[in-house]
Amino acid sequence: MATFVLLTKVSRRGITQMRNLAEMDREFEQKLRTTCPEVRRIASYALLGPYDFLHIFEAPDEKTAAKVALLANCFGVESTQTLTAIPFDEFAALMHE
């Protein structure tokens, strides 16, 4: 399983729904389990800066990670950026190869 970081920026429509943030998160988690049962969400954070939220998750491949980003768009997200995250120990080992 690969680790991915999903950065999201909430749309103006999404901002009006922020009061229901906990409910939206539960619905997202339920749809994620249904749509991509192989994905495991590791953590989620609210951010200060150009993006509003950060989600860290594991997925078997980049196509599945793209599905997660597309699913996020159903919840009032204006834009997403998905990044591959390599554990530092694994990255350091690559440098020695």
Per-residue pLDDT of the chain (97 residues; tens, 9 = 90+): 999 999 998 876 655 565 677 787 888 899 999 999 999 999 999 999 999 899 999 999 999 999 999 998 887 778 899 999 999 999 999 988 8
Helix count (H) and strand count (E) of the chain? Answer: 4, 4
Cβ atoms 5, 89 nearer than 8 A: no
What is the pLDDT at residue 75? 76
Say what the pTM is: 0.84
Architecture of domain 2-96: 2-Layer Sandwich (3.30)
Q: What gap in Å lies between CA 72 and CA 23, rounded to an integer?
A: 14
Q: What gap in Å lies between CA 12 and CA 10, rounded to an integer?
A: 7
Q: Which two tokens stand for residue 22?
A: 């906990």
Q: Which two tokens stand for residue 93?
A: 């080992």
Domain boundaries, given as residue ranges, for the chain: 2-96
Q: What gap in Å lies between CA 81 and CA 16, rounded to an integer?
A: 22
